[in-house]
Structure formats: C-alpha cells, structure tokens
Structure 1
Amino acid sequence: CAARANLNAAQVRFERTNNLFKQGFIAAQDVDDARAQAESARGQVRVAQQAGAAARAEVARANAQRAAAQAQVVVAQRETQGAIATAEADVRAARASLESALANRAQKPANRRNLEALQASVRAAQGQLNQAEAQRANTVLTTPIDGVVTARSADPGTLAQPGTAVLTVQSIKRMFVEASYPVELSSQIQPGATANVTFDAVPNRKFVGRIADLNRAADPSSRQFTVRVLLENPNEVLRPGMFGRVRIVTGRKLPSVTIPLIALSETQDGPATVSVVGKDDSVEVRPVEVGIRDEDSVEILSGVKAGERVVTTRGRDLRDGANVRVTSPNAQPGQGRRRRSP
C-alpha cells in the first residue's frame, strides 16, 4: 500500500542520512528530521493496518448478515411450501368427504346437516390454500415488461416496504439518446428527421435513428436545446448510460472549394489559416474564411482557389516561404466537392 511504500522510502532516507552524519558530512538535525519522518511513516502504516482490519471485520459482519438473511429466505420458502402442501391435502380430504356425503344424501336425509358442514370445511381449506399461494407469490418478483435490471434498491433477505422500489427494469429493445444543440439550429431540426449516432463502446459502427422529441425551451444556463433520438436495439448491443455522438443533417450545399479538415489551422487569437504549396514548392500561409464543415472536410469561402495544393501532414504549421517536397506519388490538387453540413 501507499503507507508501506512511504515507510520504506523514509527508512532508506534515514539510513542514508545517518551514514552521512557518521562520516561528518551533515548535521545532527538532518538525522533527527529523517528519523522523525520515518516514525511518522511508521505511524501511518499502523493506522492503515488498523483501518484495513476494521474494514475486513465490517465485510465479515456484512457477509454474516447476508448469509443469515438468505437462510431466513430459504426457511420462509420451505415453510410456505409446507403450508401449501398441507392446505392442498386438506382440500383434497374435504372434497373427498363432501363427495362421499353427496353420494349418501339420497339414502340418508339426516346427512344433509353433515353435508353442509363438509361444504364449509371445503371452503375453509380452499381459503387456507389461497392464502398460502398468495404468500408464495410474494416471494417472487415479476415485471410487466421484458428488459434488464439497471438498479437494485434492496439486498437479498431485506424486508421490502410497501411502495418502495426493489429493482429497476428497463426495456432496451428501443433506446433513446439525448443530445444538446445550439439555439441557432433550432429552426433547422424537426421531429422525424434522421440522425446518425456513434458510441465509444461500439466502435466502427453507426446507428441510424430518428428524432422522436424536441424540447422547445432552451436550458437557462447553457442556452442549448435538447433532442431525443429513438434507436432500434433488437440485438441489445446498446446499454443505458452509454456515451454517444449524434450527427444530424441540417442542410445541404455544393461548395466551390473544400479541403481536408486537418489542413485547417485555427487559433483563438487570429483568423484560420491554410498552408498553400505554390508551383515552386514553397509554402504560403494564407488566412481563409471558412463555411460549413463535417467530420472530414471544411468549406473554404475565400483564401484558397480550386486546384491549389494544401499541406495536410503534421508539418502543416510551416513558416511563410518555407520550401517543401511532396512525397506522396498520388498527390492531387484540391477541387470542389459536395458536402453536407452537420
């Protein structure tokens, strides 16, 4: 543990300091300081050991309580099964006596009073059986939906209180993803629109859903709107609580010039720039005006013309006028391409 490591380091430091003192290289105060640090570290180890012993005792006590509670559950289940078996036997015996009395009713009218008593016995036995079966039903938890348990509010053996949730069950065949979007896009996002969602926990896979709900009121602190995207999850790959990224197409445009997003250099202090390679393979760093973008490319409204070459490698942050050498044999000048806005 950390306390033990600190003690070992303090002990080594004390021994080294003590040896230097014996050789006359340091003062006695340094030895006293090192000894005090070692004693302090030793005290921390004792405290950590006591805390560990207390934690282990607490775990043992909790395990004992859990085992006792589980034993009580087993006993209760056995008692309930025994009560049901006894009640069923009583019902069978009462019905047999009733059937015998019914068969003899025509021969002996005096058996009518006995017949009424036997009928009452059957009803009483049936009531005891119904009560025992109701008690057994209380030992089994049922849910009206298919799903997975996402939360447990009580441990096995704990007495459940009326109105208190024991388990939380969620259906994951269909999942909702909540995302926020800025106020300037509020008029461009509508219910029913298609949304692409990716998850860090499910790499290299894209899920397509639709916008099921929009909150038309912005959050007062972030000034963002909330959208809910419905995803079908038949194979239950997705789980509640996963982090995802939602992309929604808000418009389409045919830009005249697009460049790879990696070629764009942006800072908070100045305009965005692009390193353009001229015919003489020299670099010209130009300020540019950018338009819409997606995850791969960005539209250039001004600053770069179609057909010009731009630097897209790690060395794109070059000084103006630097000479470069194109190493890719398939390098092609940029050209306008159809892109969609996020």
Structure 2
Amino acid sequence: MKRNGILALVFIVIIGALMAVSTVRKPKPPAATTQQIWKESGVPVETSVVTRGDMYEFVQITGDLSALNSAVASPKISGRLMSISIHEGDRVSKGQVVAVLDQGDALSGLESAQASLESAKARLAQAIANAEVTKTQTHTAIEQAQATLRSTQAKLEVAKKPSRSQERMVAENRVNSAKANLDKAEADYKRNDRLLKRGAISESSFDVVKTQYLVVQSDYKTAVEQLSLIEEGGRQEDISSAQAQVDVAKGQILDANANTSQNTVKQKEILVARAGVLQAQAAVDTARRQLENTYIRSSISGIVSSRTADPGQVVSPGYTLATIVDPGSVYFKAEISEKSLSQITRGQTVTVRIDAIPDLVFHGSVSEIYPSGSTSNRNFSVRISIAGASTKVKPGMSASGEILTGKVRNALLVPKDAVDDQEGTQSVFVVNNDKTVKRRIVSVIRTDRNYAQIGVPAAINVGDAVVTQGRKNVKDGSKIELSGVGASNVAN
C-alpha cells in the first residue's frame, strides 16, 4: 500500500514537470517597437512658439588674443644673474627693478673712473692757475716796459730841449728888453759925447753916461748868449745817452710782448687739461651706465606673463628673463571674410568668448580694420579692443566673437533649433490642433545664438507652435506627444 502511494506521488511530479516544460516552450508575443509606440502614443517632442521681436545682425569671427603693449625683460650686458624678484602673475611698474646682475666689476670700474676724474680736475685747476700767473706777469712786464719807455722818451726830449718854452720866452723878452736899454744907453752916450766935445757937460758927467752904456751893452750880450743857449738845445752827449735809454726801453717792450706767447701756451695747456676732464667724465658716465646696466628694469607697467631665468645663470644681452604684458592693451585679432568686410565699421559692439575661459563673456568694440587681406583665403584682419580684461586673459589664447552689425525690428522669429535644413531646403514642423505636425517650408534670413529670422511672406504665423527638440524623429503628419520643459510653450 505504501509502495503504491509513492508511485502515485512520482507520477504526479512527472506530470507537473511535463506541464511546466510545455508552458516554458510556448512562444511569447513580440515586444512593440519604438516606431509602433510613437505611432500609437505619438513622438515625444518639445515645442516653442513663433514670435515677433528684434533680431540683431552679427558677423561671426574667430582669432587669437594679442597685446599691443608687451615687453621682454632682458639684460644689456653679459653677466651672472644674482637675483630675480618677479614671478608669473606678479604686477610690476614701469622702471621697477626685476633682476640684478653681478656688480663687482662694474663697481670697481666706477671707482677707478671717478679717481681718474678727480686727478684730471686737479690738473685743470693747476693749468688755470699757471695761466693766470703767467698772464699777470706778462701784463706787469709790459706795463713796466711801457712806463720805462715813456720816462726815457721824456728824458730824451729834455736832453734835446733842456729849456722849456716859457724859459725861451723869458729869454727872448730879456733880450728885447736889454736891446731897448742898449739903444737908449747908446743914444744917451752919443748925445753926451757931442755935448762933451762942445764943452756943455763935464768929463765926470760923461763918464757916468759912458759907464752906464757899457753896463747895458754887457747886459744885452749876456741876454743874447742865454737865448742862444736855449735855442741851441741840450748837449749832444746828453741827447745820445737819453736816446740809448729810449732804445733799451723799446727793447724791453718787445721782450715783454714776446713773452705774451706764454699766455697762448698756457691757454693750450688749459684746453688739454679740460679735454682730459671731459674724457674722464665720459669714462665715469660709461662706468655708471655699466653699473646701471646690471639692474634689469621693466619698460612698461603690467603683469608678468612668463619667467624664463633663475639666479646663478650666466646671461647675455637680449636673453629673455621674463615677459611682461599690459592687460589693458590685450586685444582680439580676428579674421573676417571679404564678403562680410563691408558690414564692419569702427566702433561696432563685439561679444567675445575665450576658449580657455568658457564661463566668462567679454565685451569690446572694433578699434581697427587692417587695410590689406590674405591672398590665400581672402580674409581680412580686424582689431577688437576688450573692455575690462582680467588677469586670466593672456596673449596667445584663441577666441571667437560676434560683431553687432545691425538690428531688425519686429522680425518673425522661430527658435533656432526648430529649423530643419535638408540639402539646402529649410523647414519647420508646425503642431496642429490634433497633435500632429505639418512640415512648412521657410526662408531663413539670418540667425543668432537662439533664434532664426524667417522671411515674409511665410507659411507660419505668430503663435504657431513649432517642434524644437525631437525634430529629427518626426515627419509630415507625425503624431506627437509633448514632453519636457518645452511642452508648456504650446499654444492651446
């Protein structure tokens, strides 16, 4: 009995297993495809609304950043770099010392040049003093010789004419007076002589007149002799002696004048000494410049963009120690096609995006349009000034931008993502009231980052809902299902 029960149990298990196997092997119906699901419930899309608004006209540009005002800190002389006080990112001022070379030789050279200058100045002072002494001596000698000449000439004149003109006049007057007295005495003598012969006067009275006549005659002779002496002049020996003294004095003047050539010699010595001072001063100036050249200074105010040297290096003239850039002079050099060049003018607003700083948008303006373009790609360069450039903005970075060239008011606009372009034919999918879409051909005039301007007349109207996201999955007549944030933009 027990055995029969076990057999029945085994039979039941086998039957159950066979039923289970038959159930597993039964074919399942196939799963619905994406296309079947979209056909049933609609293609999931997001939409937006056709609107009117202002459309800004832009010219897209690309290029690199450069700097108008940048400088390289480099030495003017060779030497060992003792110190460099700047690092990348440091701000420096114009004229600031950024590095120093070894100054040992320069200091020694300056000290030697200064000592030579002091010696040259001393020689110049001595030459000037000697010239003054010589000038004084020659001037004094000339004056003394001239005075001696004048004195000897006066003596010569005296020797030639020992009597003065007043004495000659007195002598002449004396002769005239004596002659008058003689004439009177002679007349008295002759008259008394006749009276004596007649016996009219006594012998004694005649003797008185005769004696007086003789005295007057003697006075006259004396006066004549004195006048003769005055007219004759000095003695010849006195004149010869005085003339010899005059000749000696003239010779002294010649000698004194000849000695004035020493003044010229002394002046030349001053010129030589002064030239020595100038030469020594030039050597000092050169030594000071050599010392100054051991200081490497920044030629502009700006920020250190790179440092390429360290203390201990031996550097030569022109070696780049660091590069300094003025952030305010950084500009965007962009390329523009020749077709767009006619739309560009100075002062136009530009939006700039720098690839290395994607989270920041900079604003600028067109500051320069270069007059010639490239013959290879027919592009022209423009300079875009950047307002408020930060220290993050560095020359060499790549950038892109949009130049605002115009503005269209009340333009018919659709989201840029709504435009479908297939082989040059542009279209949008408009949502119908029955949640199907209709393909409408449009003409896109221009686009910006968000919108496309549609030319009128157009097959779409303000307020139409157009597919933005999911556009690639629909076609004319497709059923749609609104999903995502864009669903709220559908006009009911």
Question: Which TM-score band applies after superposition, normalised by the shorter structure?
Answer: 0.5 to 0.7
> Which residue does the alignment assign to 2:474?
319
Aligned residue identity for 2:314: G
Instruction: Write the distance in 2 (CA, Å) between the matches of 1:209 and 1:329.
Output: 34
**Cα distance, 1:299 vs structure 2:** 1.5
Instruction: Write the distance in 2 (CA, Å) between the matches of 1:173 and 1:241.
Output: 15
> Which residue does the alignment assign to 1:80?
106
Aligned residue identity for 1:83: G
Instruction: Note the alpha carbon deviations across 1:181-207, whole angstroms, 9 max, x for none.
Output: 333333322122222222223334333
Q: Which has the larger share of strand?
A: 2
Given the alignment of the two structures, is residue 189 of structure 1 paired with residue 344 of structure 2, yes or no? yes
> Which residue does the alignment assign to 2:444?
290
Question: With structure 1 as the length reference, what TM-score do the two structures score?
Answer: 0.57
- Over 3 Å counting, the alpha-carbon distance change for 1:123 and 1:246 in structure 2 is same
Instruction: Note the alpha carbon deviations across 1:190-245, whole angstroms, 9 max, x for none.
Output: 12222222222333433322222223544333233322222245654422112222
> Which residue does the alignment assign to 1:253?
408
Q: 5 Å matches for 1:26-45? A: none
Does structure 2 conserve the Cα–Cα contact (< 8 Å) formed by 1:199 and 1:244?
yes
SS in 2 for 1:203: strand
179, 187, 202: which is aligned to 2:334? 179
**Cα distance, 1:287 vs structure 2:** 3.2
110, 117, 138: which is aligned to 2:293? 138
Q: Which moved more, 1:238-247 or 1:148-157?
A: 148-157
> Which residue does the alignment assign to 1:160?
317
Does structure 1 conserve the Cα–Cα contact (< 8 Å) formed by 2:362 and 2:389?
no
The higher-RCO structure (CA 8 Å, 6+ apart) is: 2
Instruction: Note the alpha carbon deviations across 1:124-182, whole angstroms, 9 max, x for none.
Output: 76554333212223333445433456689999524337xx9887655331233222233
- Over 3 Å counting, the alpha-carbon distance change for 1:291 and 1:75 in structure 2 is closer
SS in 2 for 1:184: coil
% of aligned pairs identical? 25
SS in 2 for 1:187: helix
> Which residue does the alignment assign to 1:278?
432
Structure 2 unaligned residues grouped into runs of 5+:
1-78, 84-99, 135-265
- Over 3 Å counting, the alpha-carbon distance change for 1:303 and 1:169 in structure 2 is same
Instruction: Write the distance in 1 (CA, Å) between the matches of 2:446 and 2:303.
Output: 42
379, 387, 393: which is aligned to 1:238? 393
Does structure 2 conserve the Cα–Cα contact (< 8 Å) formed by 1:195 and 1:249?
yes
**Cα distance, 1:274 vs structure 2:** 2.2
Structure 1 unaligned residues grouped into runs of 5+:
1-68, 335-342
SS in 2 for 1:133: helix
441, 453, 464: which is aligned to 1:308? 464
- Over 3 Å counting, the alpha-carbon distance change for 1:274 and 1:329 in structure 2 is closer
Instruction: Write the distance in 1 (CA, Å) between the matches of 2:410 and 2:363.
Output: 26
Q: Which has the larger share of helix?
A: 2
- Over 3 Å counting, the alpha-carbon distance change for 1:91 and 1:235 in structure 2 is farther
Root-mean-square deviation over aligned CA pairs: 4.5
